[in-house]
Amino acid sequence: MVVGLNRLSRSASLKRLSLSLLNISLPCNQSYICVLHYNSFIKILISVVERLCLELSESLESKITKLVIKQALEDWLSLNPSDVVIVGAGPSGLTAAKYIAEKGLKVVVFDRRLSFGGGIGGGSMLFHKLVIEEEAQDILRDFDIRYSKGEDTLYVVDAAEFMAKLAAGAIEAGAKILLGITVDDVIYRENPLRITGVAIQWSAVIMSQLHVDPLLISSKAVVDATGHDAEILSIVSRKIPEFNLIVSGEKSVFVELSEKEVVQRTGRVVPGLYVTGMAVAQPYNLPRMGPIFGGMLLSGRKVAEAIIEDIAFSEKAATVAKENGNKSDPAKQNLNITLEVL
């Protein structure tokens, strides 16, 4: 049996396509009739189909999609549960993330925006410089952030370098920063009353005002690093009155007082929930401070130290309880001791 290839390839361009797919060059032009034996024709047809399938299934486009979905899901699976969830990738949240992650704890930072740095990017009324006090100099060094001497005990940093290196420091220490995600609620438990995680949603979904249920991430500690609005504390204050958490709001500018008090008041607010950065001003009615950022760094480091200590203490307490053993229900006893500490 013989087949005329030009019958299959009715137009010249289709014929050229067939030949290029086969990757062969036949001695034929547009008017030439190629006569092939049946077996050869079938072989060619199979190889065309195989080649088409290969190109469709392993196209670069499909590889990109597979890689992104697979690796993103691996990350998502590994971060639930986390040791610490930090809400807000501003200066205080990023500083806390680095120091906590350095201790080997699993840290995830969520920010609703598609960038990190919080209020840093805007500099000081859009001038790209920020001021840091001497007390926070060692934190700048830990993050390898360059600074120049200003006046007295004040130093100056470049806004872009400041935010980039804070984020790089947190990531290199092992923290995961996920952008475009809004924390819109917390998870809580009773007996003892405590915060045990967060509810998250794509910021794009929230902006589109679609009714979509969130996902839930469990953690040993949640940190409100959301800045001036103290969004997580506000949610807890409004939705879980049993905590008696009052968020009275921040006061007007008083730099010296604010820088000192924000750091002093940084720490645990209710079991499982911590506050750092400007969010500290809300529950304690503290003044704001403008474009001086030493307090944010010191507050971030302080909250990290508090969480590391609390988690270590609760784990130790759980081990001791296990060793001493509550014969009737040791698991329950361990859990209660752990939760009372956090």
Q: Which two tokens stand for residue 259?
A: 């820088």
**Closest distance to ligand 48F from the beta carbon of 248 (Å):** 17
**Closest distance to ligand 48F from the beta carbon of 238 (Å):** 13
Residue closer to ligand 48F by CB (options 271, 294) is 294
To the nearest 10°, report the CA torsion of 33, 34, 38, 40.
Answer: -160
Q: Residue 211 CB: number of other CB atoms within 10 A?
A: 5
Residue closer to ligand 48F by CB (options 118, 272) is 118
Residue closer to ligand 48F by CB (options 3, 154) is 154
> How large is the greatest C-alpha to C-alpha distance in the chain, in angstroms?
97
**Closest distance to ligand 48F from the beta carbon of 299 (Å):** 8
Residue 10 DSSP symbol: -
**Closest distance to ligand 48F from the beta carbon of 277 (Å):** 2
Q: Residue 42 CB: number of other CB atoms within 10 A?
A: 12
Residue closer to ligand 48F by CB (options 227, 283) is 227
Q: Residue 44 CB: number of other CB atoms within 10 A?
A: 16
Locate all alpha helices (DSSP H) within the chain, ordered by sequence. 5-8, 12-22, 38-57, 60-78, 91-101, 137-142, 159-173, 203-208, 231-239, 255-265, 281-284, 294-324, 330-341
Residue closer to ligand 48F by CB (options 182, 314) is 182
Residue closer to ligand 48F by CB (options 130, 318) is 130
**Closest distance to ligand 48F from the beta carbon of 134 (Å):** 16
Residue closer to ligand 48F by CB (options 113, 268) is 113
Q: How far is CA 15 from CA 44, 47, 215, 310, in A?
A: 13, 16, 53, 74
**Closest distance to ligand 48F from the beta carbon of 144 (Å):** 19
Sheet containing 129-133: order of strands:
129-133, 154-158, 148-149
Q: What gap in Å lies between CA 227 and CA 206, rounded to an integer?
A: 19
SS3 of 339, please?
helix
Q: Which residue has the tokens 């598609």?
A: 114
Residue closer to ligand 48F by CB (options 81, 287) is 287
Q: Which two tokens stand for residue 46?
A: 């199979």
Q: What gap in Å lies between CA 275 and CA 264, rounded to an integer?
A: 11
**Closest distance to ligand 48F from the beta carbon of 315 (Å):** 28
**Closest distance to ligand 48F from the beta carbon of 12 (Å):** 59
Cis peptide before 192 (omega within 30 of 0): yes
Q: Which two tokens stand for residue 89?
A: 């990738």
Q: Which two tokens stand for residue 59?
A: 């196209």
Residue closer to ligand 48F by CB (options 90, 321) is 90
Residues at the site binding ligand 48F, with contacts judged by CB under 6 A: 87-93, 110-113, 118-120, 182-183, 225-228, 231, 277-279, 288-293, 296
